[in-house]
Amino acid sequence: MEYQKDYFGFVYIWHDIKHSKYLIGSHLGSVDDGYTTSTGGEHVKRVFKKRPETMKRRILEYCNEDSVEELHKIEQKWLNLRPNIATNPKYYNQKQCSKRRTRIVTG
């Protein structure tokens, strides 16, 4: 797949092989631009710095629109498939919602 032709961003899952933990997030950019994550706080940043060889990434879904809002909708879909992800000890995610979740107003 070609960046900016076939996709503009992606939703990923990182697997910490050493501790059997996961992290779901998204990135508006290329899969090859060196981005790791901004999800999970300082602890996750230290994990990537100290032992990047134990972290394996898989792309869950590509975003074919140049829109951070659309990308976060896709990310939210994947987060919703894992109820209570923020309190699940198998995940590094600290929130159940994507970082820029669009607020839905009713009424």
Amino acid, res. 21: K
pLDDT for residue 100? 57
Contacting residues for 51 by C-beta, under 8 A, at least 6 apart: 18
pLDDT for residue 40? 84
Regarding pTM above 0.85, the answer is: yes
E-state strands within 21-101: 21-27, 55-63
Asked whether 86 and 101 are in contact (CB, 8 A), the reply is no
- Rounded average pLDDT per 10-residue block, the chain, 107 residues: 95 97 96 92 92 97 96 96 93 85 40
